[in-house]
Structures are given as structure tokens and as C-alpha cells.
Amino acid sequence: MQSQMLMDARSYEQEAGKKITPEQRPAFHLVSRCGWMNDPNGFSYADGAYQMYYQYYPYASHWGPMHWGHAKSQDLLHWEYLPCALAPDMQYDKDGCFSGSAATLPDGRVLLMYTGEEKRGQAEFQQQCVAVGDGVDFEKYAGNPVIDRTKLPADASTHHFRDPKILLKKDFAGGDGYYMVAVNQTGDKNGQVLLFSSEDGFQWKFETVLIRGDGRFGQMWECPDFFSLDGKEVFLTSPQDMLPEGYEYHCGDGTLCMVGTLDHETMHFTEEHNQAIDYGIDFYAPQTVQTPDGRRVMIGWMQNWDACSIRDEDAPWAGQMSLPRELFMKDGRLCQRPLQEYEALLEERVSYENEVFAGGAMRELEGVSGRVLDLSLEISPVDEADLYRRFEIRFACDGKHYTALSYEPDEGILRIDRSFSGSRRAILHQQCCQVNGDRRNVQLRLVLDRYSVEVFVNGGDQVMTTAFYTDLSAEGIQMGAFGGAGARADVLACEYTG
Ligand code: FRU
């Protein structure tokens, strides 16, 4: 039996979703069917398709009592909306069905695990709940919440305890059944990851604190993921209230990846390396899935809590998912490249070799324009001894608006700036990263899709993601080099033919 609240959401989204034309949405990035979307949830492969659930408030373009939206796809680029999967219709989740994950049970049923948010007077409780179903309709388990505050270790907040990510035991220590990682806050205001285990997905037992923050990474962590990749264990999370550290971590809400090893006996994780997952303005709460052919693919929410007001109140949809990115390790770092299925849909439009830019003149290259474009550049100085100061690419340009990506080879600083994108808010519009390795010769690849840019630096060694909501009529792309003897670039522009 579906609740009235869920049925209302389902009929509302059907009508509201129809009013949004495909042209108003990105070409291949998933956005909410209508209303508001935040984190990816339950990203999985089931029933012969990729399943993506998401944090969802169908009724407005701002956050509200969280539902779970649902879409599926064969290739992670073409999405079909399915009916809203969960509504906050129980006492234990009355203030929201927060983020979580999915698993297919041995009998073929789909299990969703999520955080029930329940306010009681001034107090706020977050507790883990499950729902089972056929992949479209789900029934909340009568024994919910399956993990409440009584199962928490000492020094664990009962309020900040959320975002369960189910893992298969066979991917770690071996054996049947499940692990689950959830994030929590310690008494001294650090994020920590709690590890639970279960034989059947319904009865859960606390195992250990898998990773504990030590003051370096914000005050609370959100949306954990944990998996093996190329012989290492990788932990992903999105810390809140970060202090900046050089150009690696920005202040505010950010992303963190720890690479290390896991002792399967003690389930103790040893950190060997840490880095940001994405260095741009808008990337948060990513989840990964393993494809049937063994690739580890990540999708994040292409927005930042600190800058949500960039989207107008009357926008038909708010919140986009990132491009699906294949993860790989290189020299101990987590790297990302666009999904193979996306690459297969690209066709070369135009290319230029050794194009020289100098004197600060911004110019267009014939054939290089548009809001859906895959643009690669290899940039080097014309004269090492007379180094250019800045190379700049402006896109989504009309006479008045543009968003700019600029590179300063001296310090290796890559900057994204959407101040002139048409935003009317005094919010975060710029973000920087420092390019690793060779600063003189840099490769930049911009994946543009109407309202976003994802910049893959040096083959995916670093990625910078930013959303912008400039009117779609702004299609120009310009490039130029400032200072010194200028820069030369090989430029390749490819069309998305999907
Ligand atoms: C992260 C987050 C999660 C929470 C959800 C609520 O973006 O804050 O921790 O479950 O969003 O919508």
C-alpha cells in the first residue's frame, strides 16, 4: 500500500515533469524530474539497468521534506524517470528520507537503506531505515528504524548519524552478507565513519569505527563511499565546515578522498594519501557503482550547499548530477575520466594545431562554439623565457555574460570564475586549484552541457566542476593569452551525438 503522500508526489511529478521540455534540461546530465534534487542515492545496477535515486523535493526549486526520486538508464547518459520511490510518510522519517543506498537481495528484491530524520521537540534524531520492493514500489520495513541511537558507540552524536552506504562483504573480507558505512559526528566535532554488518540487510550490528577525523577535515562528514580500486582501498566523503589547506581543500563544504589499505581481520583502515575529489565550485556527495564489466563509476551532485541560491526560485528544476566518471589510480592518486559510453558518442567537429594566442586579444575559433561541446586544449608557452601570464577560455558568452576558465603557468593556478554568468547573488563564484606536475604544458578538457562545465586536467589527474545558469542563447567561446610572448594551443572540439 502506497501512502497518500507518496501517491500525491507521484501524480504531481508526472504533470510537472511534462511541462519541462528536453531543451530546458541538459543534453546528457540527469536533473530532477521537477523541483529540487540533491545527493545521488542508491546508485546501483539492478534489473539490467543503472538505477539512480536522488534526494528530492518535487514541489519547489528549494530543499524541502526529502523524498527519493528515481530514474534508470542503460548507459548513464539517457535517463528515464520512474515514479518517486520514497516519501517521508512515517513517524521515524517524518522530517525527511535522507540519503542512502541500495542492494539487491538474494531473492531478487531491492533493498533501499536510508536515514530517517525525526524531530522531537528541540531534539533531532537520525536513524537508519530500510524499504524493500520490486525496484519501483517499495514498502518500508515494519521493524524500522533498523539502527537507532541504542546501537551507537560511546562518543557518537545521535543527531549527526546518516547516509548509510551498503557494501558487499564479498568485496572486502569475503563471505555472504553486508557491511554498511554511515557517517557520524564525534563529541569533539570531527567526522567519523561507523561500520556495521548484517547477514540479511535487516538486522544490523555495530562493528567498529572505520575512520575517525582528527581535525584536518571539517566538523562532520556526509555521504560516505568505500571500495577497492587497483589494489587500494578508497574512501570518499563530503566534509562540512572545512578550513582551507593551500589549494587542495577549500573552506566550507568540500570533498575528500582517502586512499589506503584495509586490514581485513581488524577492519582497520590505514590512510596513505588524501586529496580533494573535485576542485571546482559544484561537486558534492558522490556515490559510485561497479559496472557489469568491472569499472568503478562515480556520479556526484553538481551543486554546493554554500551556493544553492544561484538557482532562481521559479526555476523549473534545481540540481544536476555530474557526468558519470570512471575512477582509476595513478601514482597513488584517485583520477577520473569521462565514461567510455560518453566517449563513444563524440564526433570530431574541428581541430587546430599550434594556434598562437598573444597580446590579450580574446578570439573565437571557427567551429568552436555552443553550450554542448567537448573541448580539449593542450597549452604551452610560445617562449619559456618570456612566459605568458594567463591563458583564458570564456564560454557561454554573449555580449555581456560569460564563465571563464583561466590558467596561470607560473604558479600552475587554474581558476574557474562564473561572476559574469548572469548570477544575481553575492555568493561563491570562483574557485582555484593548483595543477600537479608540469606547469608549463597543461592539458585541459572541458565537458560542456548547457548549464555546467567539468574540467578534466592532465588526463583526469584533477577535475573542476561548476554549474552556471546563463541563458542558453549565450553560446560563444573565446580564447586568449595575456602577457609574455603568449601561448600556443592544440584545440580539439567534439560534438556530442547522443
Ligand atoms: C548531503 C546531505 C546528507 C543528507 C541529505 C539531506 O548533501 O546533507 O548528509 O542525508 O543531504 O538532503
Query: Which residues is 337 bridged to in the sheet?
Result: 326
Q: Which of 285, 317, 341 is the last residue of a domain?
A: 341
pLDDT at 173: 81
pLDDT at 347: 98
SS3 content of the chain, % helix, strand, coil (to 5): 10, 50, 40
Task: List the domain range (segments joined by +) for residue 31.
Answer: 4-341
328 and 433 belong to one structural domain: no
Neighbour order of strands in the sheet with 191-198: 156-168, 178-186, 191-198, 205-212
**Looking at ligand 1, which residue's alpha carbon is closest to its atom 2?**
222
132 and 267 belong to one structural domain: yes
202 and 296 belong to one structural domain: yes
**Looking at ligand 1, which residue's alpha carbon is closest to its atom 6?**
98
State whether the beta carbon of 285 lies less than 6 angstroms from ligand 1.
Answer: yes
Q: Give CA–CA dist 33/71, Å, rounded.
A: 9
Per-residue pLDDT of the chain (498 residues; tens, 9 = 90+): 799 999 999 999 999 999 999 999 999 999 999 999 999 999 999 999 999 999 999 999 999 999 999 999 999 999 999 999 999 999 999 999 999 999 999 999 999 999 999 999 999 999 999 999 999 999 999 999 999 999 999 999 999 999 999 999 999 988 999 999 999 999 999 999 999 999 999 999 999 999 999 999 999 999 999 999 999 999 999 999 999 999 999 999 999 999 999 999 899 999 999 999 999 999 999 999 999 999 999 999 999 999 999 999 999 999 999 999 999 999 999 999 999 999 999 999 999 999 999 999 999 999 999 999 999 999 999 999 999 999 999 999 999 999 999 999 999 999 999 999 999 999 999 999 999 999 999 999 999 999 999 999 999 999 999 999 999 999 999 999 999 999 999 999 999 999
Which among 7, 78, 88, 18 is positioned nearest to 55, based on CA atoms? 88
Q: What separation in Å is there between the alpha carbon of 125 and the centre of ligand 1? A: 14
Domains of the chain: total? 2
261 and 302 belong to one structural domain: yes
State whether the beta carbon of 148 lies less than 6 angstroms from ligand 1.
Answer: no
Of 39, 93, 449, 461, the catalytic one is 39
Q: Which of 310, 341, 372 is the last residue of a domain?
A: 341
| Backbone Cα Rg of the chain | 23
State whether the beta carbon of 303 lies less than 6 angstroms from ligand 1.
Answer: no
Q: What separation in Å is there between the alpha carbon of 41 and the centre of ligand 1? A: 10
334 and 401 belong to one structural domain: no
Q: What separation in Å is there between the alpha carbon of 39 and the centre of ligand 1? A: 7
Cβ neighbours for 459, distance < 8 A, ≥ 6 positions apart: 335, 337, 443
Environment class of 315 (CB within 10 Å of its CB; exposed 0-12, middle 13-18, buried 19+): middle
Q: State pTM to two decimals.
A: 0.98
**CATH number of the domain encompassing residue 406:** 2.60.120.560
Per the CB < 8 A criterion, the answer to whether 423 and 434 are in contact is no
Per the CB < 8 A criterion, the answer to whether 16 and 35 are in contact is yes
138 and 190 belong to one structural domain: yes
303 and 392 belong to one structural domain: no
State whether the beta carbon of 51 lies less than 6 angstroms from ligand 1.
Answer: no
**Looking at ligand 1, which residue's alpha carbon is closest to its atom 8?**
222
297 and 266 belong to one structural domain: yes
State whether the beta carbon of 392 lies less than 6 angstroms from ligand 1.
Answer: no
Which ligand 1 atom lies nearest to the CA of residue 163? 10
**CATH number of the domain encompassing residue 79:** 2.115.10.20
39 included as an active-site residue: yes
Joined grid coordinates for residue 241: 565546515
Q: Which of 280, 314, 341 is the last residue of a domain?
A: 341
Per the CB < 8 A criterion, the answer to whether 226 and 211 are in contact is no
pLDDT at 5: 98
Which among 454, 468, 463 is positioned nearest to 419, based on CA atoms? 468
Which ligand 1 atom lies nearest to the CA of residue 98? 10
428 and 285 belong to one structural domain: no
- CA distances for 453 relative to 282, 374, 469, angstroms: 10, 10, 11
219 and 233 belong to one structural domain: yes
350 and 471 belong to one structural domain: yes
State whether the beta carbon of 401 lies less than 6 angstroms from ligand 1.
Answer: no
State whether the beta carbon of 93 lies less than 6 angstroms from ligand 1.
Answer: no
Which ligand 1 atom lies nearest to the CA of residue 223? 9
247 and 376 belong to one structural domain: no
State whether the beta carbon of 275 lies less than 6 angstroms from ligand 1.
Answer: no
State whether the beta carbon of 222 lies less than 6 angstroms from ligand 1.
Answer: yes
pLDDT at 372: 98
Q: What separation in Å is there between the alpha carbon of 8 and the centre of ligand 1? A: 23
- Choosing from 222, 225, 284 the residue with most ligand 1 atoms within 8 A of its CB, the one to mutate for a pocket test is 222
